[in-house]
Amino acid sequence: MGTNMKKYLLSATIVAASLFASAAIAADMPVRVAAPAPAVLPTWAGYYIGVHAGYAQHQTNHLDIPATFESALFTQRGAIAGGQIGYNWQRGSFVYGLEADGSWLSGSENVNSTFTVPGVFTGDDYTRMQWLATGRVRAGLAVDATLLYLTAGVAAGGVDNSRTFRVAGVVTGIQSEHKTKVGWVAGAGIEHMVAANWTARLEALYVDLGDSEATQFPLIAGSNNRFRFSDTASIVRLGLNYKFR
């Protein structure tokens, strides 16, 4: 074997040994795995519009001024339904926004009651809240696709309240009001993203429309010619919203 051939064989052996050593070292090195992409959290920010329906209990306290008779509490129970529109901002897990809604209420209460002297003083009491509108702020904490929130703001409602007095079956006076009353509203809710642009919620609200006074007609000398009506409502409702991206 010639000298040149020996040199070629020696060089080839050295190269093969180097390649084998490099492969062995590479096999012992840890394999690098690409880091997973950061999770994209659902966003609550933006405009939304939706509908709601549920149960409402409207209560009215009727009281003479001055209080000759004891106050009487009357309750309207029924369904509530309507719509809402709002906008959310989001900072990390903190979500806050504004919402306005309008609702219609069903039912009324019309009660015949006996006052202080049974069989002599009687009265027909009527109460109804026809509609309710609120403008509220919302603020809460988003946990993945679920939002827990508190809400509060201004409420307005259309109410009908009346009491008709009778003495020995004869009408002696009517105290009534048909008006829009303004007060406050507060509550809490839970909302969940059920699809890409859709959210569903369960919400409980308490509404206080305050006190109002009515004047008896006709005016009767020596009688209580003023009357006070206090209106509140407790509401539980489900809602469905479409969120614009």
- Selection from 16-25, 30-39, 123-132, 216-225 with the highest mean pLDDT: 123-132
Report residue 45: phi and psi, to 5°: -70, 145
- Selection from 124-138, 142-156, 172-186 with the highest mean pLDDT: 142-156
- pLDDT, greater one: 94 or 3: 94
Instruction: Give yes or no for residue 224 having a pLDDT over 80.
Output: no
**What is the pLDDT confidence band of residue 126, given thresholds at 50, 70 and 90?**
confident
Among the listed residues 81, 87, 84, 77, the one whose alpha carbon sits nearest the alpha carbon of residue 109: 77
Separation of alpha carbons 130 and 59, rounded Å: 13
Radius of gyration of the chain (CA): 36
pLDDT at 33: 55
Model pLDDT for residues 68-124, shown as the tens digit of each residue = 555 677 888 999 999 999 999 999 999 999 999 999 999 887 766 655 555 566 777
Separation of alpha carbons 151 and 139, rounded Å: 7
